[in-house]
Amino acid sequence: MTFYIFLFLAALAVFCGLMTVTSRNPVHSVIFLIGCFFAIAGHYLLLNAQFLAVVHIIVYAGAIMVLFLFTLMMMNLNEASEGHKPALARISAVVSAGLLLFILIAALKKTEPFAPPLTIDHSIGLVKALGNTLLNEYLLPFEFVSILLLSSMVGAVLIAKRDKSPKPELE
Amino acid sequence: METSFLIEKGILILVIWGITMLIALYSTFGERVVAAYFQDRRGPNRAGPGGLLQPLADGVKMFTKEDFIPNTPNKWLFIFGPALFMTTALLTSSVLPWGDKLNIFGYEVSLFVADINVAILFILGVISIGVYGIMIGGWASNNKFALLGAVRASSQMISYEVAMGLSIIALLMLSGTLSVREIAAQQGGDFLGISGMKWNIFYQPLGFLIFLVCAFAETNRTPFDLPECEAELIGGYHTEYSSMKLGFFLFAEYISMFISSAIIATLYFGGYNYPGVNWVADHIGPNIATILGVVVLFAKIIFFIFFYMWVRWTLPRFRYDQLMNLGWKILIPLAIANIIITGTAILLLN
Amino acid sequence: MSLLMNIFQEIPLHNYLFLSAILFCIGVFGVLLRRNAIIIFMSIELMFNAVNLLLVAFSTYYSDSGGQVFVFFIMAVAAAEVSVGLAILVTIYRNLHSVDIDELKSLKW
């Protein structure tokens, strides 16, 4: 039963991922990527990482992809706005990605099989356990992340702000 | 997973779904009656006694109208938009507690569908996904006004989500849990010697105010109904929609109004708790106390739905820059200040 | 039998390794294939997520919450990266009316 759920979610993730990179319309790409993120959130739930699953949905589907969709809508990009790469570049993209996959899988196949630990901690993915780890062992990185987020927010506002120079704008 | 568990939850889901639909249906009627009262005129009064069958007539009208799909390259997305909006509006009700335990012939029934321990985050997640229905629908309409409405809606909802999340954080610091059921249960404690009155509103008045404003913005109700403001955008994101697809958009708004009222009532106004809940449970019976709790919860919810309508017919709409100023420059700093105040208070009092 | 034990037995950890390898390669494929800078950005997000998935899988299988905390940090960094990156793309679009990377060759103009 669990394995079939895994298979379904994995197939969904891979299908949506492929559609993301191959859709001609950028907005369709965004929607497929959201589907892929939901499949990955399903995997997190399967792995008993409840907190991370919900945070993943909030951060990726709820914030990052909305930002992407928002930008695409503002730019009004469609199928026609992106030209094809030359055929050679496309073939080499397929070949190199395929080779990378081949090497990765060939290397990973050789790894030792997983031996379950003696004691299984069932509270790992829950808020309490994660919070304890986060605010005890990783307190300093946590503070750094807050600074990073603040600086990126300021940076984004600064960069995207229209400069008031007299240069004529086309919009 | 036993069969009885599945049956219990299945019945509960159906009942909650039915009640949600019924209340949303009659909110459309209530909205018109309230509007009529505020404008000193008679509301709908022809269909049925006192106009009570008006929502049914509206429904029949919506269903039988021509279902028009504009010339758009994205027909699937055009249909997908309202469906998604409706789904996300209904989804939140699954984690809300609708009452305490009910004892039916020795079989204990808990009146909530799913008690997940990240329920608050689940609510925030569903709210953040709700914006996709509007965005996809508005974009797939292939219409300038619809697109502008969708873009407005998304930026508004993203902006107010931040303040909403921050205002909830202060509440979480106080309650120490992410489970809505536990938050509701905690509010059954004593406050000034009255049992069942430990409502969070007494501890988090500022947080409640911020949450309320954000809830208005998230449900796209006046004074935050810029995404669909008729005067500027014809109809916003649902300009091109007709028939039941338009019905879904309009109806989902009432559903999300109901759900957000339920969230407000549960998080800040004690949920199913009422003064003297212990006395009723001891003297009359726990089942009666639970049923009374459900009634009280729905009374609170209906009050907040009325509050939504009251505000709608009282306040004018914001201008767009005012909306953004309110969200980013007033509510977010206030919410952060609220977190700091709450943290200091917890530190000093414990 | 506990829930996690059930998962460990039914889904070998190798499956997660392969799945995230596939997702990562799809991301690489997208970066190489597309010319639209926003799609390339999205492919990078996909690669991030492949890594995240593997970290969560390891963290659960080996009962170590450090992996999930790492994913948490990666999400924060991804959010920061996207906000700045999209701001840059918006600025580029305003100047060039295109986000085609083949037209963004010059470092200076």
CATH value at residue A12: 1.20.120.1200
* In-domain check, residue A106: no
Gap from A114 CA to chain B (nearest CA, Å): 29
Q: What is the mean pLDDT of chain A?
A: 84
| Residue range(s) defining the domain that contains residue C55 | 15-103
If one compares B105 and C29, the residue with the highest pLDDT of the two is: C29
Q: Nearest to residue A132, comparing CAs of C68, C106, C94, B301? A: C68
Q: What is the pLDDT of residue A171?
A: 44
Distance separating alpha carbons of residues A140 and B328, to the nearest angstrom: 28
The residue-averaged pLDDT of A113-130 equals 75
Query: In total, how many domains does chain C have?
Result: 1
Q: What is the mean pLDDT of chain B?
A: 83
Domain final position from A78, A113, A146:
A78
* Residue pointed to by tokens 């919070």: A131
pLDDT digits (tens, 9 = 90+) for A67-97: 888 888 878 766 666 667 778 888 888 899 9
Q: Do A66 and B116 touch (CB under 8 A)?
A: no
Structure tokens at B287: 């089942």
Distance separating alpha carbons of residues C98 and B110, to the nearest angstrom: 57
Q: Is A100 exposed, middle or buried (0-12, 13-18, 19+ CB in 10 A)?
A: middle
Q: What φ, ψ does residue B223 adopt, rounded to 5°?
A: -85, 15
Band (pLDDT 50/70/90 cuts) for residue C25 is very high
If one compares B188 and B165, the residue with the highest pLDDT of the two is: B165
Q: Is pLDDT at C14 greater than 50 in this prediction?
A: yes
Q: Do C80 and A122 touch (CB under 8 A)?
A: no
* In-domain check, residue C57: yes
Q: Do A63 and B150 touch (CB under 8 A)?
A: no
Q: Tell me whether the omega of the peptide bond preceding residue B316 falls within 30 degrees of 0, making it cis.
A: no
Which stretch of DSSP H or E encloses residue B110?
Answer: strand B107-110
* In-domain check, residue C10: no
* In-domain check, residue A98: no
Q: Do A58 and B124 touch (CB under 8 A)?
A: yes
Q: Nearest to residue B178, comparing CAs of B258, B130, B98, B124? A: B124
Distance separating alpha carbons of residues C43 and A17, to the nearest angstrom: 8
Residues A64 and A127 in one domain: no
If one compares B237 and B210, the residue with the highest pLDDT of the two is: B210
The partner residue sitting opposite A126, judged by closest CB among B117, B129, B161, is B117
Q: DSSP code of B328?
A: I
Q: Do A40 and C79 touch (CB under 8 A)?
A: no
Query: In total, how many domains does chain A have?
Result: 2
The partner residue sitting opposite A70, judged by closest CB among B124, B155, B161, is B155
- Please enumerate in sequence order all residues whose Cβ is within 8 A of that of B275, keeping only pairs 6 or more positions apart, or say none: B194, B195, B196, B197
Which chain C residues have a beta carbon less than 8 Å from that of A105? 18, 21
Q: Would you report the helix, strand and coil content of chain C in percent, each value rounded to 5?
A: 80, 0, 15
* In-domain check, residue C34: yes
pLDDT digits (tens, 9 = 90+) for C35-83: 888 888 899 999 999 999 999 988 888 888 888 888 989 999 998 999 8
Q: Do C14 and A93 touch (CB under 8 A)?
A: no
Distance separating alpha carbons of residues A99 and C107, to the nearest angstrom: 31
Structure tokens at C77: 């960094």
| CATH code assigned at C79 | 1.10.287.3510
Q: DSSP code of A138?
A: T
The residue-averaged pLDDT of B2-18 equals 84
A50 close contact with B: CB closer than 8 A: yes
* In-domain check, residue A86: no
Q: What is the mean pLDDT of chain C?
A: 85
Q: Nearest to residue B149, comparing CAs of B230, B256, B261, B203? A: B230
Q: Is pLDDT at B17 greater than 50 in this prediction?
A: yes
Q: What is the pLDDT of residue B344?
A: 92
* In-domain check, residue C86: yes
Band (pLDDT 50/70/90 cuts) for residue A151 is very high
* In-domain check, residue C109: no
- Cβ atoms of A46 and A11 closer than 8 Å: no
Task: Count CB atoms within 10 A of the CB of residue B22.
Answer: 12
If one compares B271 and B303, the residue with the highest pLDDT of the two is: B303
The partner residue sitting opposite C42, judged by closest CB among A6, A20, A121, is A20
Q: What is the pTM of this model?
A: 0.89
Distance separating alpha carbons of residues B209 and C38, to the nearest angstrom: 38
- B103 DSSP β-pair partners: B108
If one compares A106 and C63, the residue with the highest pLDDT of the two is: A106
Band (pLDDT 50/70/90 cuts) for residue B253 is confident
The partner residue sitting opposite B131, judged by closest CB among A51, A66, A126, is A66
Distance separating alpha carbons of residues C40 and C47, to the nearest angstrom: 11
| Residue range(s) defining the domain that contains residue A64 | 1-78
Residues A131 and A70 in one domain: no
Domain ranges of chain B: 65-349
Distance separating alpha carbons of residues A17 and C21, to the nearest angstrom: 12
* In-domain check, residue C4: no
Distance separating alpha carbons of residues B200 and B268, to the nearest angstrom: 5
ipTM entry: 0.89
